[in-house]
């Protein structure tokens, strides 16, 4: 009998330097009810080799490693992981440890006691002024164009029931738009979205893939705005 209740997906793209910290952070959470799915999302560094070595060195119960040969997008890696999840409650977070890995437990505890139509997500604290302004502006743009209220769209973790995922996965985008897509579909299907505060730390190693520098923030903004317009046109 499957005892797994919770599955969390952690996509990794060129996170070799963070992997030992990540697995050491996950290990204390290891139990028969929690499945950890780490997706090597087409990394071009030594992440794949490091994962194999570290998973033997740092044993974690119900650890599943999913390998994607070529990087086809942030969302693609998450979807590959979610499609192999066994839990009733699913979610994803990032491998960079900018939010505490223990936040996933907080999220799962919140959703377990919630109504069927509930999504749980983090809301970042301790961020710089520029980052906050960027996030607020994107949320305002989404809210105005899509006529639904959004806040801190890209915050992690995101926690939801498998039944919700099965309703939305067919049209799920494979890039960074996945975060917005999930929240938009939750609003469209009249789910409650509950935020809880997560402390946002500085990255210890590597670069953020979705908005670390001004250049990547600009690229993310353009892609997000384009996707907002796609949703708007499709909903008309």
Q: How far apart are CA 14 and CA 16, in angstroms?
A: 6
Give the range among 5-14, 52-61, 215-224 with minimum mean pLDDT: 215-224
Choose between 53 and 203: higher pLDDT: 53
Sheet of strand 192-199: strand arrangement: 63-68, 34-41, 6-12, 89-92, 158-161, 118-125, 192-199
Whether the pLDDT of residue 207 is over 80: the answer is no
- Tell me what the mean pLDDT of segment 117-135 comes to: 91
Sign (positive or negative) of CA dihedral 70, 73, 78, 84: negative
Q: How far apart are CA 104 and CA 58, in angstroms?
A: 20
Q: Does residue 1 sit in helix, strand or coil?
A: coil
Give percent above pLDDT 70 in the chain: 95
Sign (positive or negative) of CA dihedral 188, 191, 197, 202: negative
Four-way CATH pick for 6-235: 3.90.550.10, 3.40.190.10, 2.30.30.40, 3.90.550.40: 3.90.550.10
Choose between 2 and 227: higher pLDDT: 227
Bin 200: left if φ > 0, else alpha if -120 < ψ < 50, else beta: beta
Sequence spans of domains, the chain: 6-235
pTM: 0.92
Q: What local confidence, expressed as pLDDT, does residue 221 receive? A: 82
Q: For residue 187, give the H/E element and its range.
A: helix 178-188
CA 28, 121, 73: angle at the middle one, nearest 5? 85
Query: How close are the terminal C-alpha atoms of the chain, in Å?
Result: 46
Peptide bond into 56 cis (omega under 30): no
Residue 41, phi then psi, degrees to nearest 5: -90, 60
Choose between 204 and 115: higher pLDDT: 115
- Tell me what the mean pLDDT of segment 138-155 comes to: 93
pLDDT band for 127, please (50, 70, 90 cuts). Answer: confident
Give the range among 16-30, 50-64, 109-123, 202-216 with minimum mean pLDDT: 202-216
Q: What local confidence, expressed as pLDDT, does residue 201 receive? A: 82
């Amino acid at each position: 009998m499957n005892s797994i209740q919770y599955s969390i997906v952690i996509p990794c793209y060129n996170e070799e330097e963070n992997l030992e910290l990540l697995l050491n952070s996950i290990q204390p959470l290891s139990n028969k009810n929690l499945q950890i799915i780490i997706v090597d999302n087409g990394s071009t560094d030594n992440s794949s080799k490091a994962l194999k070595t570290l998973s033997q060195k740092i044993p974690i119960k119900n650890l599943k490693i999913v390998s994607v040969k070529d990087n086809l997008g942030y969302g693609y890696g998450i979807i590959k992981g979610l499609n192999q999840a066994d839990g009733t409650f699913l979610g994803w977070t990032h491998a960079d440890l900018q939010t505490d890995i223990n936040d996933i437990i907080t999220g799962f505890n919140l959703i377990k006691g919630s109504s069927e139509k509930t999504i749980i997500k983090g809301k970042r604290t301790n961020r710089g002024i520029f980052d906050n302004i960027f996030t607020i502006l994107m949320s305002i743009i989404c809210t105005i164009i899509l006529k639904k209220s959004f806040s801190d769209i890209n915050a992690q973790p995101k926690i939801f029931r498998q039944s919700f995922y099965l309703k939305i996965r067919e049209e799920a985008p494979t890039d960074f738009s996945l975060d917005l897509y999930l929240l938009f579909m939750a609003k469209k299907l009249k789910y409650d979205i509950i935020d809880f505060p997560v402390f946002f730390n500085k990255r210890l190693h590597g670069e953020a893939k979705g908005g670390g520098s001004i250049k990547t923030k600009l690229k993310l903004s353009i892609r997000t705005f384009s996707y907002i317009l796609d949703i708007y046109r499709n909903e008309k």
